[in-house]
């Protein structure tokens, strides 16, 4: 059995974001990381997202991203809901972009094409390494997103819908049992 990617606590997430701030493409890198941590998006989905999926005609960020079947795992479209923090981060990033054509990738490469899922995975893993966060991978954000929801009492059924999973067992495998959760649970009795 393969070891799952480690999830981050809030201090580690801040350490990761600080490491991303100290990179050449800091706005882009922070936004990519937060789409995995705050919206639970898969790296392949982040790589596939287009400006028109995120931005309205008036250049403001939508409250959700509607991913088409060819942008997701399993070739089934899904909706990614964005909280206020994520919308604010996205808006700040979008405001730095010069060309907001709806068909352009949200995260263009130097040649203005979109990243592949593999190249984006390499960037994300490099950011975790730069932050000194061992055991993390490009999947840590998605796992952390679902773990945070579980720790806040969100039902597995709701998490399943937010993650775009078809099977509840898949969602449950994403949830990490972090230190302190058991202690908090017994204090509820």
Per-residue pLDDT, 111: 77
**Spatial contact of 131 and 16, defined as CB atoms under 8 Å apart:** yes
Cβ density class 109-122: b for 16+ within 10 Å, e for less: eeeeebbebeebbe
Please write the tens of the pLDDT for every residue from 80-110: 999 999 999 999 999 999 889 999 999 998 8
- Helical (H) or strand (E) element with 66: strand 64-67
pLDDT value at position 83? 97
Cβ burial, residue 13 (10 Å; 0-12/13-18/19+):
buried
The total number of residues shown for the chain amounts to: 189
- pLDDT value, residue 124: 97
CA distance 182 to 162: 25
Model pTM score: 0.91
Give the three-class secondary structure for 123. helix
CATH of domain 10-136: 1.10.443.10
Give the separation between CA 60 and CA 91, rounded to whole angstroms: 7
Number of Cα atoms under 13 Å in the Cβ half of residue 96: 14
Please report which helix (H) or strand (E) contains residue 43, including its range: helix 43-48
pLDDT in tens, 23-70: 999 999 999 999 999 999 999 999 999 999 999 999 999 999 999 988
Residue range 105-123: average pLDDT? 91
Q: Tens digits of per-residue pLDDT, 140-189? A: 999 999 999 998 989 999 999 999 888 888 888 888 777 777 777 778 88
Sign of dihedral through CA atoms 114, 65, 51, 86? Answer: negative
Question: What does the pLDDT read at residue 125?
Answer: 97
Beta bridge partners of 78: 67
pLDDT at 15 over 60: yes
Question: Residue 181 has what pLDDT?
Answer: 75
Domain positions in the chain are 10-136, 142-187
Which pLDDT score is estimated for 2? 57
């Amino acid at each position: 059995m393969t070891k799952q990617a480690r999830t981050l606590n809030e201090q580690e997430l801040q350490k990761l974001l600080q490491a991303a701030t100290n990179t050449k493409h800091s706005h882009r890198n922070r936004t990519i990381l937060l789409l995995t941590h705050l919206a639970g998006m898969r790296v392949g989905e982040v790589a596939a997202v287009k400006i028109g999926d995120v931005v309205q005609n008036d250049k403001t960020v939508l409250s959700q991203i509607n991913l088409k079947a060819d942008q997701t795992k399993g070739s089934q479209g899904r909706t990614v809901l964005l909280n206020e923090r994520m919308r604010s981060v996205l808006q700040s990033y979008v405001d730095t972009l010069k060309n907001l054509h709806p068909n352009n990738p949200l995260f263009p490469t130097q040649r203005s094409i979109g990243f592949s899922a593999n190249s984006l995975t390499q960037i994300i893993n490099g950011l975790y390494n730069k932050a000194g966060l061992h055991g993390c991978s490009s999947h840590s954000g998605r796992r952390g997103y679902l773990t945070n929801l579980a720790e806040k009492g969100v039902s597995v059924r709701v998490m399943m819908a937010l993650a775009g999973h078809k099977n509840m067992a898949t969602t449950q495998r994403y949830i990490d049992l972090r230190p302190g959760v058991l202690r908090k649970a017994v204090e509820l009795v």
